[in-house]
Chain A
Amino acid sequence: EDKVVQSPLSLVVHEGDTVTLNCSYEVTNFRSLLWYKQEKKAPTFLFMLTSSGIEKKSGRLSSILDKKELFSILNITATQTGDSAIYLCAVCNNAGNMLTFGGGTRLMVKP
Chain B
Amino acid sequence: DAGVIQSPRHEVTEMGQEVTLRCKPISGHNSLFWYRQTMMRGLELLIYFNNNVPIDDSGMPEDRFSAKMPNASFSTLKIQPSEPRDSAVYFCASTIRGSSYEQYFGPGTRLTVT
**What number of B residues sit within 8 Å (CB to CB) of A?**
23
Tell whether, in the assembled complex, residue A88 and residue B43 are in contact, meaning their CB atoms are under 8 Å apart. yes
Cross-interface CB contact of B97 among A41, A45, A97, cutoff 8 Å: A97
CB distance from B52 to the nearest CB of A (A): 15
Kindly list chain B residues whose C-beta atoms are within 8 Å of the C-beta of A42: 91, 105-108
Q: Is the interface of A mostly helix, strand, loop or mixed?
A: strand
Q: Does A64 contact B (CB under 8 A)?
A: no
- Contact partner, B42, options A31, A34, A102, Cβ 8 Å: A102
* Residue B95 is within 8 A (CB to CB) of chain A in the complex: yes
Let me know if B102 is at the binding interface, CB within 8 A: yes
Q: Which residues of B contact A (CB under 8 A)?
A: 31, 33, 42-45, 48, 50, 55-56, 91, 95, 97-98, 100-108
Residues in chain A within 8 A of chain B (CB atoms): 31-32, 34, 41-45, 48, 88, 92, 96-104
